[in-house]
Amino acid sequence: MHFDLTDEQKMIQQTLKEFADEVVAPGAIERDKTKEFPLKVFKQLSEMGMMGLPFPEVYGGAGADTISFAIVTEELSRVCASTGITYSAHISLGGAPLNLFGTEEQKQKYLVPICKGESFGAFGLTEPNAGSDAGGTETSAKLANGQFTINGSKVFITNASYAKHLALTAITNIEKGKKEISAVIVPTDTQGFTIKADYDKMGLNASNTTELILDNVVVPEGNLLGVRGNGFKQFLTTLDGGRIGIAAMAVGIAQGAFNKAVKYSKQRRQFGKALAEFQATQFKLADMAVKIELARTFVYKAAWLKDQGRSFGKEAAIAKYFASEMAMEVCDEAIQIHGGYGYMKEYEVERFLRDAKLLEIGEGTSEVQKMVIARHILQQ
């Protein structure tokens, strides 16, 4: 097995590490307080060619691989998870379904603006009564005279306030009690489409989390994404890729908390010596480092399998489950090493913990990941 990053991946990693430290990190505490969306950061990422990173160059992307996407997501999340989740969702949830299932015309019209950073990518799946049970979708899209009329609502949707269009799931038919769920592309400025962004969240405060309300929203039949009735299947495929992004976020958050814990343990003195000299602290740091390294390695494995065109659903679920749980553990230990200062916002580790919690919930809870993993095991 070959574990070295390619020269291109190393270059992306170094470039994003410097960008994260010099541009993203300085405003992270303030953005967490004010909940200001990092538009200026993403304008610069767009100028760097990062907004369409893994998509084909013909659509304005960079033609890079999934490992590169994971690296960028990790580096951004290492200093500001709000920026990390915005980027991850933009690529893996907003752009990916268009790239995977869109017609050539749809890609030119909807994927190109995402790759160029002219629109943020977003994805409408979760509903008030359809979270882990996405099959509980209630939003409907009725076809008549060559047009879909969509009614319903979506919740916890990332980036929608800054998206010019998004794909969402809706019931296009019900036969013998069975729902036919399809994916439809909806421009966000369509009449009857309302976006609310007034959630008061535990963490990820600078990311854009919205509610979508669709009241007789009309779009052409040509806005159907992929095959009618395959919407649920398409979005499950999309989530497999999205879980790599969430896992990469978790690695980044954990790395950021770990870095601060190491630095603090060397500086803070108690009983006449630095915390880092105590074996209790050393053991904590060793456990944290092991967990981070294992999670990162498995994120890269899942990403590599995806890039090889091989089955990666089980590996993505394992990476997402392990990395998200690991991030919470590492952040908790980072706070413990900081002692009372870890509870203070200026030391940032408490923010890392608040931000990490969502990763055990979004794009399939930890419990759902175990269901997915078990299903793969039993099918083998």
Catalytic positions are 363
- H or E element at residue 41: helix 39-47
User: Cα(221)–Cα(223) distance, rounded to whole angstroms?
Assistant: 5
Contact 360, 206 (CB under 8 A): no
User: Cα(65)–Cα(72) distance, rounded to whole angstroms?
Assistant: 11
Residues contacting residue 60 through CB under 8 Å, at least 6 positions apart? 52, 111, 112, 115, 116
- Please give the torsion angle defined by the CA atoms of residues 214, 215, 218 and 222, in that order, rounded to the nearest 10 degrees: 30
**What string of DSSP letters covers 354-367?**
HHHHGGGTTTS-HH
Please state whether beta strands 273-274 and 269-270 pair in parallel, antiparallel, or not at all (unpaired).
Answer: antiparallel
Tokens encoding 352: 């890392």
Can you name the residues that pair with 224 across neighbouring β-strands? 184
Question: Which of 186, 196, 193, 191 lies closest to 231, judged by CA?
Answer: 186
User: Cα(179)–Cα(138) distance, rounded to whole angstroms?
Assistant: 9
Contact 229, 95 (CB under 8 A): no
Question: Which of 210, 97, 205, 114 lies closest to 157, judged by CA?
Answer: 210
Identity (one letter) of the amino acid at 14?
Q
Identity (one letter) of the amino acid at 342?
G
Q: 39-47 and 81-88 helices cross at what angle (nearest 10)?
A: 50
